[in-house]
């Protein structure tokens, strides 16, 4: 597996990042020896703290160091950071087996400029990467009506939508146990593959994953999380 930890290092995230740093060594210890982890800090721009490495101790140390990163600039731009991280996964994991995941730590308090959700999702789809997130307790998705901007160049951050549309999920931080739980969920997630139909115009193709009638009857409370589709170019 290739896992990128993408950390929003704005001041409002400090308490949560302290908790995640304390829990990171144990949480990342669940991964297999061959799994690789990268760590990126972001604010207005992104700073690579650790390239993909199989050394989980180095990854945990990078999470701790990322909290104090000063070169990310003032402000928080979520979608550009996700696009950059997805492109990194696409480049570095090309041709290599194993699942790919992006785990974002953010309070979702961001306004994107000329970087709509569509671009972030297309980057995730192109990288075959699932986005997951850990947010502070009480964090909510933006109200669509209140979050509307008169200028279409601006849009409210919505990590909940990006996780849902890419097949991932969002957990609240709690006291640090969320990182261990999320890593375990990512590690044990199923991978389904199918051959896409040929032909048709370029563009987005929507897919839906559903349980069979028998499975639905057996697991009545089951939830299916899967990417919403893929892009044909």
Question: For the purposes of burial, counting CB atoms within 10 Å of the CB of 111, is it exposed (0-12), middle (13-18) or buried (19 or more)?
Answer: middle
The secondary element (H helix, E strand) that includes residue 92 is: helix 78-92
Q: How far is CA 101 from the centre of its chain?
A: 7
> What CATH number is given to the structural domain containing 66?
3.40.50.410
Give a yes or no: residue 130 inside a domain: yes
Q: pLDDT tens string for the chain (233 positions)?
A: 999 999 999 999 999 999 999 999 999 999 999 999 999 999 999 999 999 999 999 999 999 999 999 999 988 999 999 999 999 999 999 889 889 999 999 999 988 888 999 999 999 999 999 999 999 999 998 877 656 666 778 888 999 999 999 999 999 998 678 999 999 999 988 877 777 777 777 777 788 888 888 888 888 888 888 877 777 77
In this prediction, residue 146 carries a pLDDT of: 59
In this prediction, residue 10 carries a pLDDT of: 94
pTM of the model: 0.90
Domain count within the chain? 1
Give a yes or no: residue 42 inside a domain: yes
Give a yes or no: residue 70 inside a domain: yes
**What is the residue range of 122's domain?**
2-192
Give a yes or no: residue 206 inside a domain: no
3-class DSSP assignment, residue 84:
helix
In this prediction, residue 161 carries a pLDDT of: 95
No. of helices (H) and no. of strands (E), the chain: 7, 10
In this prediction, residue 122 carries a pLDDT of: 94
Give a yes or no: residue 208 inside a domain: no
Is residue 101 within 8 A of residue 130, CB to CB? The reply is yes
């Amino acid at each position: 597996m290739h896992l990128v930890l993408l950390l929003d290092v704005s001041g409002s995230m400090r308490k949560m990042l302290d908790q995640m740093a304390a829990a990171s060594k144990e949480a990342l210890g669940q991964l297999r020896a061959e799994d690789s982890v990268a760590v990126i800090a972001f604010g207005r721009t992104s700073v690579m703290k650790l390239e993909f490495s199989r050394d989980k101790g180095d990854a945990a140390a990078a999470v701790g160091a990322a909290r104090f990163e000063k070169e990310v600039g003032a402000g928080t731009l979520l979608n550009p950071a996700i696009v950059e991280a997805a492109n990194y996964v696409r480049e570095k994991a090309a041709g290599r087996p194993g699942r790919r995941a992006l785990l974002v730590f953010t309070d979702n308090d961001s306004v994107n400029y000329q970087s709509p959700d569509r671009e972030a999702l297309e980057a995730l789809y192109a990288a075959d990467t699932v986005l997951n997130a850990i947010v502070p307790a009480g964090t909510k998705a933006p109200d669509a009506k209140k979050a509307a901007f008169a200028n279409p160049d601006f849009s409210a951050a919505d990590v909940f939508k990006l996780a849902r549309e890419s097949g991932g999920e969002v957990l609240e931080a709690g006291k640090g146990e969320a990182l261990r739980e999320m890593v375990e969920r990512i590690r044990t997630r199923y991978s389904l593959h199918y051959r896409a139909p040929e032909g048709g115009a370029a563009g987005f193709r929507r897919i839906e994953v559903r349980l069979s009638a028998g499975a639905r009857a057996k697991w009545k409370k089951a939830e299916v999380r899967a990417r919403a589709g893929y892009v044909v170019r």
